[in-house]
Amino acid sequence: MAKSSKSALEKKLRELGPWHFKMPVGDGKFTSDYNEIHMKNLVDPFIMKRLFTQLYPQGFEGKSFLDIGCNSGGYCIAANQLGAKYAYGFDIRDLWINQAKFLRDEVFKMSPKEVHFDVAHIHDMEKSRKKYDITLFKGVLYHIPDPIHSIKVLADITNEVMIIDTAGSVDAPDDCMKIFFEKPTAIMAGVDNMAWLPGSPKVVEHILHWAGFKETRVASCKVYPARPHMQRMRIIAAREKKFLRAYDRKMENKAKRLAEAAK
């Protein structure tokens, strides 16, 4: 890349910050190298490709993908790289959508017809006439005032698989959700000032079953030492068992390998 266009790119990356996603931008550099403000808990969205290919070993060819609270769009970009025919990400904040569009247009050179981004609230999905094969709902369930309703709205527009990744409360009973009030001014937070933390994956699984996603798997549920009052859980849900066949086989093989190693 010519020196002048490289410095223009770097200037733009600085102006667009702070960055929450650590995305490659060429020359071994990442968006996070241009963070003037230090962001905690940087996320590498390409790590999710591992789960995506466990679910769909042949990739996302012919599939459509939806990402709620997409931040700077890394999961949609990953979905496109895996062959998705269409990926749609939206976020409530301009800051993140400006980053997503910049990465799509200037760094990854993807077509807006294949990878589309909008500023929107999750409630706007109630009016969606489009359906998606795969929906990612990561880091947002615990930022909204009505998680049960929102899961139902998303389930109704998802054909195959939903991935829900959320924080939960350690001290709420397993079958409850705990209310909390967050400041909408925080750039990673919700905007409604009221939110709920599930007490266990069981709560999320029950809501998903009620919403028509009868098959659920708890991919992980952990408490990180840095946040001992919170748990982090990931639930994979499918409308039909067949959509989890590849994933189930992978997990069975993994369990067998671990059992063998423990002998």
Number of residues in contact with ligand SAM under rule CB under 6 A:
17
* Shortest separation between residue 261's beta carbon and ligand SAM, angstroms: 31
Spatial distance between the Cα atoms of 23 and 33, rounded to a whole number of angstroms: 10
Binders of ligand SAM in range 123-162 (CB under 6 A): 138-140, 143-144
Q: Are 122 and 152 in contact (CB under 8 A)?
A: no
Does 96 bind ligand SAM (CB under 6 A)? Our answer is: yes
Spatial distance between the Cα atoms of 187 and 114, rounded to a whole number of angstroms: 27
Using DSSP, state whether 187 is helix, strand or coil. coil
Measured at the CA of 31, the angle between CA 61 and CA 62, to 5 degrees, comes to 5
* Shortest separation between residue 139's beta carbon and ligand SAM, angstroms: 3
Selected from 107, 148, 170, 188, the binder of ligand SAM by CB under 6 A is 188
Does 198 bind ligand SAM (CB under 6 A)? Our answer is: no
Tokens representing residue 95 in the block: 């800051």
Using DSSP, state whether 117 is helix, strand or coil. strand
Q: Which amino acid is at 125?
A: M
Distance in angstroms between the alpha carbons of the first and the last residue of the chain? 54
Does 92 bind ligand SAM (CB under 6 A)? Our answer is: yes
Please choose, out of 5-13, 56-64, 86-94, 217-225, the segment that lies near ligand SAM by the rule CB under 6 A: 86-94
Selected from 9, 80, 86, 91, the binder of ligand SAM by CB under 6 A is 91
Residue 112 has phi, psi (to 5 degrees) of -65, -15
Please choose, out of 56-64, 92-100, 127-135, 221-229, the segment that lies near ligand SAM by the rule CB under 6 A: 92-100
Binding site for ligand SAM (CB under 6 A): 43, 69, 71, 91-93, 96, 121-122, 138-140, 143-144, 188, 190-191
